[in-house]
Amino acid sequence: MDQENFNFNSEKTSIFDKLLSKISAIGNREQATGNRENKTGKIDQEKFNFNSEKTSIFDKLLSKISAIANTAYFILVRYTSRGQDARTTTLKKWLWATAFGLAFGAAILVKQTTIFFLFIPLLSIGVNILRKRQWQKLIQLIFSLCLSVAVFYPWARTNWLLMLTAGKRATVDSAIAEGDPNLLSLDAWLYYWKLLPYHISLPLLIIPIGGLFFYFIRSFKKQDKFSSNYLHSCRWLAIFLIGGYLICSLNINKDFRYTLPLLPVLSILLAFGLMQFPRKVGKQIRWFTIGLAIILMVLNLWPVGGIFFRKISAWLSPGGVYYAHLGKEWPHQKVIAEIIKTDPYLRSTLGVLPSTPEINQHNLNYYGALQNLQVYGRQVGTNLKQVPQDVRSLSWFVTKTNDQGSVKRIKKAQAAIVNIIEKNPNFQLQKSWLLPDNSNLNLYHNQFLPVEVHPLTKPQEKIKLDYVILSPKIRPGVPIPITYKWSGSWQELQSGLVLLTYRHENIDRALLQPLVSDNNVSRFIHDRAIGMGSLYPGVSPANKSEVGFEIIERIGMLPPANISSGNYILEATYLNRKTGETYPIPIQPPVRVEVDSQAEILPAPELDLVTQLRMWGQKLPLGIKGLETVFEEVGRVNQYDPVQDYTKQAEKTLAYRLQQDPNNLELLYGLSLARVLQQDADGAIAALTRVTELDSQNPFAYAYLAFVYLYNLNPGPAEIALKSALELDPTQPEIRALNGVTALMQGNVIKAWRYLK
């Protein structure tokens, strides 16, 4: 498929589309990396040869989508059926309308594409109601639609931008990448028709269709008049099937799963056809069809029958092989159990390097979720430039011998990270399992742990900093290795944020410069959660004597490049993220370090994620150039912290710092970014409003504020912010694009066209 077929003007749309796609990356917790085969009207049987181990999670999702879409459609048909007018009370009509509103709203929450199947029926009902002037039904229909909006609106308000940008990737981008047939070709409109044998099997498709032909021929010869109820039923079946088929075919990205909600309704039509054969042979035909279907089911579920019958089965039921797994169990649960056994007090992220149907990040993440969300599976090693950071940021990896799965697009990066993990002396083979396909699944664990947890037998109330290990001399602007040891009760440790300030020893606190300055600064910070947010909240000590714990952190710290030379002393404050309680943490003996531009450079672990977020905030004043780096880094880091707890840590610690230093622009940019990443529009607006006051000559500050207003569906204040941005830089294309979107959201199409063209 060629992008020219869609008549896009790249010069007009590239800038704004690029901005939207970058912003939408905030909400993407994980991106698919598989590269599906080319689809040019041909159906590849291998893509339908599913194994129950491979697709159980996927099947559950598809079945839920089909169930909720057909449930909503059933209620809609029941509400508008003819019997309602004569036999149903007004109260029952309102109850059916209410039920449809709730079901339709739930259907959109489950999968937004369910509207593909209900749009044509709703349009048909609306036209019919207006044509017959049934005003009470119109009010009921409007009420049900408003009720459905009330159900999905809170979710849609937060995720509308993600839906729009993800929709483009899921349609246009995917269609081009996969080679889907052009909409102007016949293959595009016959694609799903060709899939019917794969969905249903030839006997259950051809024989009922034969019954339908027989029925129509018999009715035509006898000149039978169809009853009104029969015509009414056929009309509803046709509206759902034809409307859904046409809209799915109109979608330029073709995939077998898109039409699954049509199958339950299609089965009604086929069952009707199976009942239309003459009485003399009808019973035998039905028993033959059922018997053949059972035989095919057995042949597709069990490896029996020999080569000849399997070939017959493959011809009559293409793509239906779904063998029950009778061999060794796949070790997903054992992998998760081994991780929890080794790190019982931590929430772990498992780096999954293979991507086969049996072993991938999705099913390992699923089994980790079954263990109270203590282990998350994430695919890393997808970008060659980020491989070193991936290796330094995670403690657990799984590799697989032989087939690596769908990693063609990331083959170099995947091979590089596997090679590093297997040869890195810090990573040791924790355990290995022989898989049913005779390959090995290997679980590697980093012996140089960034976080260690040890239970204590003595009571511990307030948090204590037992020791800090770092080089006596550190160089500005270069990451350094540092080790902290904390002790305290589990509740205090798990809920604790620490605000660490390295202050120049010869300068009084009252005379300290801001944390950020064009001149040399005399202090720097290392704020974050204890254990970097990886302490598992579900832990409860099994032994009541374990009333205290010690946490050892081995991480990297980054002194600012413009830090003044001299001796610095560490000061620490504890902040409970749940209660807001704060208290100073005594440090005995005092921790001192000398900043020296000639200090030796030592290899350092990866910086903690809160420090990295603060570094991203420093790039925001640069505008689109800074955003390029920020969003690339966000996508990477979100793989390491699947619950994005680092954004919450950053927000709490930065907000606390700003109470003491309210005019610190860099901290405000960091706070704004942390709130944007949490999709906290109101909080981000408050922070960015303060940013525009302090950075009033930067047009991008106003642009950021306007964008968040637009995200929050509030174009009026966005227009005011953009007015200031355009006064500072009227030629900036991103700002002009945002102004065009603002005009469009306010209904000013002419102004929108002027800025977006």
Structure tokens at 268: 């009604």
Lowest mean pLDDT among 174-188, 252-266, 328-342, 554-568: 174-188
653: confidence class by pLDDT, cuts 50, 70, 90? very high
Indicate whether 416 and 493 sit together in one domain: no
Looking at the domain assignment, is residue 278 inside a domain?
A: yes
Alpha helices in 352-501 (DSSP H): 361-370, 387-393, 411-423, 490-494
Query: What is the tens place of the pLDDT at every residue in 268-327?
Result: 889 988 998 888 888 999 999 999 999 999 998 888 888 888 888 888 988 888 787 777
User: Are 245 and 391 contained in the same domain?
Assistant: no
| Shared domain check, 305 and 198 | yes
Residue ending a domain, among 281, 316, 351, is 316
Pairwise CA distance, residues 300 & 317, whole Å: 8
The whole-chain average pLDDT of the chain stands at: 84
pLDDT in tens, 625-647: 888 889 889 989 999 999 999 99
- Percent above pLDDT 90 for the chain: 49
Question: In this structure, are 537 and 497 located in the same domain?
Answer: yes
Which of 566, 581, 607 is a domain's end point? 607
Q: Looking at the structure, tell me whether residues 585 and 641 fall in a common domain.
A: no
Preceding peptide of 459 cis, ω within 30°: no
| CATH of residue 635 | 1.25.40.10
Q: What is the pLDDT of residue 483?
A: 97
Give a yes or no: residue 642 inside a domain. yes
How far is it, in rounded angstroms, from Cα 525 to Cα 685? 25
692 and 600 in one domain?
Answer: no
pLDDT the model gives residue 726: 93
Q: Decide if 526 is inside a domain.
A: yes
Domain extent, residue 593, equals 451-607
Cα separation, 328 vs 406, in Å, equals 23
Strand partners, 525: 501
Q: What pLDDT does 495 receive?
A: 94
Determine the pLDDT at residue 346: 95
What's the length of the chain? 757
**The pLDDT of residue 13 is above 60:** no
Residue 443 contacts residue 429 (beta carbons within 8 Å): yes
Residues 196, 256: Cα–Cα separation, whole Å: 10
Number of domains into which the chain is organized? 4
Report percent pLDDT > 70 for the chain: 85
Q: Which are the contacts of 235, defined by CB distance < 8 A and separation ≥ 6?
A: none
- Are both 579 and 673 inside the same structural domain? no
Looking at residue 375, which CATH number applies to its domain? 3.40.190
Both 689 and 553 in one domain: the answer is: no
**pLDDT tens digits along 712-756:** 999 999 999 999 999 999 999 999 999 999 999 898 888 888 888
Do residues 474 and 553 share a domain?
yes
DSSP secondary structure letter of residue 304: -
Least confident range of 44-48, 347-351, 619-623:
44-48
pLDDT surpasses 50 at 48: no
pLDDT of residue 520: 62
Cα distance between residue 252 and residue 188, in whole Å: 8
How sure is the predictor about 117, in pLDDT bands with cuts at 50, 70 and 90? confident
pLDDT exceeds 70 at position 513: no
- Tens of pLDDT, residue by residue over 442-498, are 999 999 999 999 998 887 778 999 999 999 999 999 999 999 999 999 989 999 999
**What's the 3-state SS for 655-667?**
HHHHHHCCCCHHH
Q: Which residue has the higher pLDDT, 251 or 441?
A: 441
Domain end point (choices 416, 445, 474)? 445
Instruction: Report if residue 299 sits inside a domain.
Output: yes
